[in-house]
Amino acid sequence: MENSQAALRMLAFLLFLKGSSTLVVKPVTDPVISEVGDTVTLGIKPPGALAAISWVFSPTGITVVSLNGSTPVIAPIYVNRVTLNTSTGSMELRSVNHKDADVYVFDGITIVSGIRESFKGNITLKVYDPVISKVGGNVTLEIQPPGALTAMTWTFSPAGITVVSWSGSAPVIGTGYVNRVTLNTTTGSLGLSSVNGSDSGVYLFRGNTAVSGNPENFNGSVTLEVYNGPESLTLFISPQKLIYSAGSDLALSCSAQSSPPAHYQWFFNGAPLNKLGSQLNIVSSRLWLKDGQPLVPSDRITLSVDSSVVSFNKVLQSDNGEYQCKAYGPVNEVTSALYRLEVNYGPEQASLTGPDKAALNSSVTFTCSAQSVPACIYIWYVNGIQTAQGYQYQIDAVSNVDTGSYMCMAWNSVTRRTSIAEKKLSVTGKEGPILSAGEIAGIVIGTLAGVTGIALGVYFSVKLCTKNPDDPKLGPAERSLDAVTWPNASETYENIATVQTASKAKVLDHAYTDLQSPDHSTYSTLNE
């Protein structure tokens, strides 16, 4: 709210001055060059007594600070980082970072001889990281001049020694830097070779450029940090166990081991320096990779503050893959060996493929499959009876007895989980019935009974034929064929019924015994 009110008050001033001339004010230094973490001043010199001013960070359009009264108004994101000089309008920016680099636009009002005048201008801020090197390394302190370079001087700040100077002819190299220093006369960048601990410190540069034919001065500084550390660095991912069951928690740790086992020794301004307490970590940052791509954290996958540990809250099948840890030191990066993570799971959704119908004597193959790590075991059941193992079940020539239910059970011996799939098979085509011993005996007995019936019929027919129906000795009833009573018929059919309903061999044998006597008497009578 305060920021908005300040902007409105500034607008009121500008409207009040509408129609008046606007002066373009050149900054004290442009560009301003800063190292990450430093404090810089964007200096200006207004043409009169300052009445109002605002600073706007051009890329975002945010008003960093404004003054239209006695107290400056600072944007929330710049609180505790910005101070405004209410006399000159210069702005101080602390804890500079890369996001601060770009153009800052200033717009203000001054009072000159009692007359209000507006002025404006801009300053470019360039931000650099400190240059870091190990003992014996080669480094370049790079800068970018605002125009065509005409003169350049580099000074080593702690000792006030001129490292190199140039003003159009051959560069002049300072004592102690011969054969170790090069100067790029186009950019003004300084090259140092075979650096040592005494080379660490702040290097000041001051140069002249020609911008649109006008000479301009620029200056700044670059910090060089030199360290003496281990020759090699190796990364290890632990624990060494590579196989986990889905649903379990897992934490992978990335640790570094140096050879020889030593901490970095840092130097600054030529003197030994202990950073971060008694030692500096040999790894400054880490990056986790999965299958060659940066690992993306989530609600389930989290990283520790220094990214040395990645934690999985319940590992899933999707976590299968190859993991690596990449660590960054002051001047180098190291990547660990591949860590293959295998998550046991499943079986998931067993499926059974094969026909629903099959022609008689054709070949049938059933195939069972399920997603599982490790590969699962397949057990087959036919009509509820365990039959075989393997992912396939084959019948070379189907018959009626193969009709029924086919079920495969997929089993993971590690997760102890199972998954089942089932299919029904029907057999089409004609095939002779398959009969039991009792059914075969029944058929035989039925056949014999039929033969017996025929024999009895022949016998009675012969008897009737020997009695003439016209014989007066016969009564009326005896002369009518329809009134004939078959002897022993009911008894014979009762025996047949008994045989046909029998289902055990014992009963069948008894039936054969019962048939022997009638057979004998019948054929005996016929023989007469």
Whether 212 and 98 share a structural domain: no
Q: Are 134 and 330 in contact (CB under 8 A)?
A: yes
Q: How many CA atoms lie within 13 A of 25 on its CB side?
A: 26
236 in the same domain as 258? yes
The pair of three-digit structure tokens given for residue 273, joined into one six-digit string: 């320096």
Domain boundary residue, one of 379, 400, 428: 428
With a pLDDT cut of 90, the percent of the chain lying above it is 35
Out of 337, 355, 389, pick the residue that ends a domain.
Answer: 337
The domain total for the chain is 5
Dist. CA 126–CA 29, nearest whole Å? 12
Question: With contact defined as beta carbons under 8 Å apart, do 379 and 408 qualify?
Answer: yes
Name the pLDDT band for 26 (thresholds 50, 70, 90): confident
Do 396 and 306 share a structural domain? no
How many beta carbons lie within 10 A of that of residue 344, not counting itself?
Answer: 21
Residues 380 and 412 in one domain: yes
Phi then psi dihedrals of residue 261, to 5 deg: -70, 95
444 and 476, same structural domain? yes
Alpha-carbon distances of 439 from 171, 436, 445, 511, rounded to whole Å? 120, 5, 10, 14
Residues 519 and 483 in one domain: yes
Q: Are residues 377 and 420 in the same domain?
A: yes
Phi, psi at 335, each rounded to 5°: -115, 135
Of 30-34, 256-260, 409-413, 434-438, where does mean pLDDT reach its minimum?
434-438
pLDDT at 229: 61
Pairwise CA distance, residues 63 & 55, whole Å: 6
In the block, residue with structure tokens 């009445």:
51
CB 493 within 8 Å of CB 429: no
pLDDT in tens, 293-333: 999 899 999 998 888 889 999 888 888 889 988 887 666 67
Query: What CATH number is associated with residue 413?
Result: 2.60.40.10
What is the reported pTM? 0.40
Cα–Cα distance, 59 to 53 (Å, whole number) = 19
Residues, the chain: 528
Q: Within 10 A of 252 (CB to CB), how many other CB atoms are there?
A: 18
H/E/C letters for each residue in 315-383? CCHHHCEEEEEEEECCCCEEECCCEEEEEEEEEEEEEEECCCEEECCCCEEEEEEEEEECCCEEEEEEC
The pLDDT of residue 332 is: 66
64 and 79 both lie in a single domain: yes
- What secondary structure letter does DSSP report for 454? H
Q: Containing domain of residue 321, as a range?
A: 232-337
* Pair (203, 224) in one structural domain: yes
Query: Domain check: are 220 and 260 in the same one?
Result: no
- Domain boundary among the residues 228, 246, 265 is at 228
Do 76 and 181 lie in one domain? The reply is no
**Does the pLDDT of residue 502 top 60, yes or no?**
no
Query: Which segments of 390-526 are extended strands (E)?
Result: 392-395, 404-411, 418-428
Q: Is the peptide bond before 158 cis (omega within 30 degrees of 0)?
A: no
Per-residue DSSP letter, 262: -
Q: Are residues 421 and 470 in the same domain?
A: no
